[in-house]
Structure 1
Amino acid sequence: MRTWINMLAASIALCASFILSGLQVDAAEGPNVIFILADDMGYGDVGALNPESKIKTPNLDALARGGMVFTDAHSSSSVCTPTRYGVLTGRYNWRTKLQNGVCWGFSRRLIEPGRETVASMLKGAGYHTAAIGKWHLGMDWPRLESKGGGFADDGMRWDPKYRGGWDVDFSKPIENGPNTVGFDYFFGISASLDMPPYVYIENDHAHVSKLVEKTFYNRTGPADSEFEDIDVLPRITEKAVAYIHERAEADEDRPFFLYFPLNAPHTPIVPIEKWQGKSGLNKYGDFVMQVDDSIGQVMQALEANGISENTLIIFTADNGCSPAARIDEMKKKGHFPNWIFRGHKADIFEGGHRVPFIARWPAVVEAGSESNRL
């Protein structure tokens, strides 16, 4: 019998299979699963992995103390989109049509029609599934009929006919997004926070009260007038916490799978006022502290609902720390975001793909354990 646990191990991360191997659990009895994917966060940013880290990460450290730390974990790519494709499909990312770079905000769907994902498999096993945060795997945005109809395509960025999303009909449903690959619910943004459109998406609709032009970091494009980059991490954290409360209170005996891909600490590096200056390093260090706080809020929601014991939390990152974090500036203050590893995001060197990886499942995983398996 193929259990949910085998599907999870195969599709979410091979690293996790070490702690999950040999378990025979019926789908109805399976744990809740929360997969948290940080964006551009280095191995050396987590205190539990780097004792000399200058960034305080009390919640991640607590997660590590309560579970298993993987010291030789690697993402399947040193940039965003390919890692996300591999995480959700369990396939080599080079099997897609995207042979270099990443998706953009108006890129067409990358996950192939009919492709099974961890979300669709868990949904088939009885789970309620949600994705909250940064998607970055493409979706099909309908163009205005007056502009020729069809779908916008960031793959045409260098074509003189390309309109950068200004030809999109934001009032129409978006096609082939997260809801079509196994997620019952989606809330978040289409790509990185420095890639337009700057709008929130809920299921297949964009939230646009008034369409304006905005620039975040260094990219200009269509935006909702109420959308601000600094609000995104708090907003998706609030949504994730609300989802946990909602599922805990639901009148049904059904576990949930929450895929929680953060927009941070990727650019634009915009910690809220509460965290500004707290790291003593720079804005990136402050933003990592805010990421840690978001994870703490998720953990608190589990505790508040009495479901922490049978919830598997996996935390990792899509790739290593980016030069945009001003790595040299932090090194001068004694902090090495990619720890001892050479390179950084977008590199073939280990600093580009060696990532933090922590798994906690109190009912099963031994607290304070460690694996050095690849």
Structure 2
Amino acid sequence: MSELLQRSLLLGLLWCLCGTAAIASETKPNVVFILADDLGWSDTSLFQTTKFYKTPNIQRLAERGMTFTHAYASSPLCSPTRSAILTGLSPARTGITTPNCHLPQVILKATATRTGPANQRATFPSSVSRLSTEYYTLAEMFRDNGYATGHFGKWHLGATPYSPLEHGFDVDVPHWSGPGPAGSYVAPWKYPDFDPNTPNEHIEDRMAEEAVAFMELNKGKPFFLNYWMFSVHAPFDAKQSLIDEYRKRIDPNDPQRSPTYAAMIESMDDAVGTLLDTLDRLQLAENTIIVFASDNGGNMYNQVDGTTATSNAPLRGGKATMYEGGVRGPAVVVHPGVVEANSRSDEVIQSSDFYPTLLELLSINPQPNQEFDGISIVPALQGKSLGRDAIFTYFPHSPPVPEWLPPAVSVHQNDWKLIRIFHGGENGDHRYKLFNLSEDLGEQHDVSSKYPERVDAMDALIETFLENTQAVRPLPNQNFDPAKYQPAQEGIGRIKNTANPSNQKPKPKRVKPVAGWQADGTCTLAVDGDVLVVTSRGGDPYFSCPLPKPIRQQTMTLRFSMRSQSAGHAQVFWHEQGVAPAFYRDRSVRFDPEHDGRTHDYVIEFSPAKPVQAIRIDPSRAAGEMQLSNIRLTTPAGEVLHRFKP
């Protein structure tokens, strides 16, 4: 048991002795909430979409309870969904709409912005960056009703004074506020004051071990175990023995074919098994409610093992998109004696539903004047219809990933799904995409022009939702430049350029290239000796460089060293010969740099479909300086194909 857990448990014991836990506990169910990170709808054996992944323990969990086929995260990215679970409120209401809660700036109120990148028609609101302690969280509810409360794993809603310990948890291990595991899954790690017990220890094995210690210590009283896994978020790292095992089982025709990712899923599933085994051993299983869910869709854009991490097929898109693959995932609820074992439900549920559901299951009243955007799904757990009218997903941002959409909000109503793209049409009007999911699960056929009355009716629901939640909305972008607009990236068809009736694109003003690299977006370039210095103003910094001659189609790697004092994810794009100038759609690899002020080496592998004639680097998503050196294109074996200046 870690020293941190021992200290936290001692504090919890002292708190209990003060009298708050005097409520009778013999019959109160324990609650275990397991939240996977970036686990896609097709990443388990629940829906039989692949035979590559092994998840016998998640299957074992499903056999004890109800599997939901239409479970939605409250956001296609993690922090907003996590806030929805803990508050029962939509991210539109809390203002946490991006996963920026690890960044230094503390923002407790969302604000609208009037300007943004010139290639965007709409602006992005400034997201809240900490879960305010003014909310009465799920953990505080449990604590105030006599439960021992423990948080294990990823948090990503703010460091002290916004950590789990300030939000109702007695225990927080490893007390880490970062966006993913610290450094790697397999030790050595980089967690402050939290060291591995053994060399090459896997963090998920350790988290399960710490969770077991918490359950053993509290087996005589009710407990709320909040196990928010680091798995299967990047960086892509796993036990080598498992990677080797899965490498033997690759089917090149299966979209799930990354042995590293499959190994990560197995370790995640092992941790679920450890919790189930412990509940059985302690004879607590019959009096324990278990919730299993994912915070957003699967990551199908980062590359690992020469392929994408995963595929959400048959769903379209993935993490960071408004399509089904970005928000739909696996979910299971277990409650022996209440929920039928090995049952399924097609009812639509969402992350914000779990808080009011647990209140009803435990016969606990909400706080005076406490309201939720979610609803209790107890009727569904009893095999009945929820009778809900609609669910809403608010995502007023535009991550540069394939299947990209500008700032948007969606509504699901029965079999229909409408996406409003803020100010994506002519003259600042909104643009819409309508899908009938019962006929078009892959969202390939936008039927908004065929059913205008349905669009109007569902858009009225969206408007009411935005008004009720007092959402801070995107605005028309005062910096929008039609010459820099690339509508094909939106996947919504071309938009008429009303700002230029002659249909002649004005030539954009460009700064002079630096060492062959052309700065664009929100950055400037300079050279210091053999180092390319990038100064980002935040938002969307990027720069590109044409090759002297195209490099033939082959698997290749972009290698470079970078020292960064910025923040956010990064991407590498490539321009393939014969492809239109809006060349970055579907030709990118996302990765997560270390923005710690130290120099790190990066190797980004990609497999173009045609000869490559230019490279673009998006090094961060925030302000700060970055220094890049030794930039070159190589074969996977390291043979240099081209070395970039300086």
Do both proteins adopt the same fold according to a TM-score greater than 0.5, normalized to the shorter chain? yes
**How far apart in 2 are the matches of 1:65 and 1:316?**
15
Q: Deviations over 1:42-65 (max 9, x none)?
A: 111111222534211111111111
Does the aligned pair in 1 maintain the 2:300–2:312 contact within 8 Å?
no
- For residues 125-144 of structure 1, what are the structure 2 equivalents within 5 Å? 125-140=145-160
Q: Deviations over 1:288-333 (max 9, x none)?
A: 11111110011001111011111111111101111355499678xx
- Residue 230 of structure 1 and its aligned partner are, at CA, apart by 6.5
Paired position in structure 2 for 1:239 = 210
Does the aligned pair in 1 maintain the 2:99–2:156 contact within 8 Å?
no
- For residues 107-256 of structure 1, what are the structure 2 equivalents within 5 Å? 108=106, 110-140=130-160, 175-188=161-174, 189-193=176-180, 199-200=190-191, 206-207=192-193, 231-248=202-219, 250=220, 254-256=221-223
Does the aligned pair in 2 maintain the 1:44–1:53 contact within 8 Å?
no
Q: Deviations over 1:125-163 (max 9, x none)?
A: 1111110001100123xxxxxxxxxxxxxxxxxxxxxxx
The answer to whether structure 1 residue 369 and structure 2 residue 343 are counterparts is: yes
Paired position in structure 1 for 2:299 = 322
Paired position in structure 1 for 2:226 = 259
Q: 1:89 to 1:329 in 2, by over 3 A?
A: same
Paired position in structure 2 for 1:67 = 65
Paired position in structure 1 for 2:245 = 278
Does the aligned pair in 1 maintain the 2:140–2:169 contact within 8 Å?
yes
> Aligned match of 1:41 in 36, 39, 42?
39
Unaligned runs of 5+ in 1: 1-25, 141-174, 201-205, 209-223
Kindly provide the amino acid, as one letter, of the partner of residue 136 in structure 2. Answer: E
Paired position in structure 2 for 1:153 = none
What root-mean-square deviation, in Å, do the aligned CA atoms of Structure 1 and Structure 2 show?
2.9
Kindly provide the amino acid, as one letter, of the partner of residue 59 in structure 1. Answer: N
The answer to whether structure 1 residue 338 and structure 2 residue 312 are counterparts is: yes
Kindly provide the amino acid, as one letter, of the partner of residue 321 in structure 2. Answer: D
**How far apart in 2 are the matches of 1:226 and 1:290?**
17
**How far apart in 1 are the matches of 2:196 and 2:343?**
47
Q: 1:194 to 1:185 in 2, by over 3 A?
A: closer
Kindly provide the amino acid, as one letter, of the partner of residue 184 in structure 1. Answer: D
Paired position in structure 2 for 1:308 = 285
Unaligned runs of 5+ in 2: 1-23, 107-128, 250-256, 349-646
- Residue 123 of structure 1 and its aligned partner are, at CA, apart by 1.0
Partner SS for 1:207: coil
**How far apart in 1 are the matches of 2:342 and 2:272?**
18
**How far apart in 2 are the matches of 1:327 and 1:50?**
23
- Residue 102 of structure 1 and its aligned partner are, at CA, apart by 2.9
Kindly provide the amino acid, as one letter, of the partner of residue 214 in structure 2. Answer: Y
Does the aligned pair in 2 maintain the 1:40–1:319 contact within 8 Å?
yes
- Residue 243 of structure 1 and its aligned partner are, at CA, apart by 1.3
Q: 1:134 to 1:100 in 2, by over 3 A?
A: closer
Structure 1 length-normalised TM: 0.70
Does the aligned pair in 2 maintain the 1:66–1:360 contact within 8 Å?
yes
Paired position in structure 2 for 1:289 = 266
Q: 1:258 to 1:113 in 2, by over 3 A?
A: same
- Residue 228 of structure 1 and its aligned partner are, at CA, apart by 9.3
**How far apart in 1 are the matches of 2:54 and 2:198?**
29
Kindly provide the amino acid, as one letter, of the partner of residue 276 in structure 1. Answer: I
**How far apart in 2 are the matches of 1:328 and 1:320?**
20
Identical aligned residues as a percent: 33
The answer to whether structure 1 residue 32 and structure 2 residue 30 are counterparts is: yes
- Residue 195 of structure 1 and its aligned partner are, at CA, apart by 6.3
**How far apart in 1 are the matches of 2:211 and 2:197?**
21
Does the aligned pair in 2 maintain the 1:229–1:268 contact within 8 Å?
no
Partner SS for 1:259: strand
**How far apart in 2 are the matches of 1:328 and 1:94?**
37
Partner SS for 1:72: strand
**How far apart in 2 are the matches of 1:102 and 1:36?**
22
Does the aligned pair in 1 maintain the 2:260–2:304 contact within 8 Å?
no
Paired position in structure 1 for 2:505 = none
Q: Deviations over 1:170-226 (max 9, x none)?
A: xxxxx33111111111112212236689644xxxxx417xxxxxxxxxxxxxxx899
**How far apart in 2 are the matches of 1:233 and 1:82?**
23
- Residue 99 of structure 1 and its aligned partner are, at CA, apart by 4.2
Does the aligned pair in 1 maintain the 2:36–2:294 contact within 8 Å?
yes
Q: 1:107 to 1:246 in 2, by over 3 A?
A: farther
Of the two structures, which has the highest relative contact order with CA contacts closer than 8 Å and spacing of 6 or more?
A: 1
Task: Point out the structure with the larger strand share.
Answer: 2
Q: 1:79 to 1:85 in 2, by over 3 A?
A: same
Does the aligned pair in 2 maintain the 1:119–1:182 contact within 8 Å?
yes
**How far apart in 1 are the matches of 2:134 and 2:25?**
22
Does the aligned pair in 2 maintain the 1:240–1:260 contact within 8 Å?
yes
Does the aligned pair in 2 maintain the 1:193–1:229 contact within 8 Å?
no
- Residue 29 of structure 1 and its aligned partner are, at CA, apart by 2.5
Does the aligned pair in 2 maintain the 1:34–1:312 contact within 8 Å?
yes
Q: Deviations over 1:225-269 (max 9, x none)?
A: 999997322221211122122212x4xxx2100110001111112
Partner SS for 1:372: strand
Partner SS for 1:121: helix
Does the aligned pair in 1 maintain the 2:102–2:159 contact within 8 Å?
no
- Residue 284 of structure 1 and its aligned partner are, at CA, apart by 0.5
**How far apart in 2 are the matches of 1:73 and 1:328?**
29
Partner SS for 1:312: strand
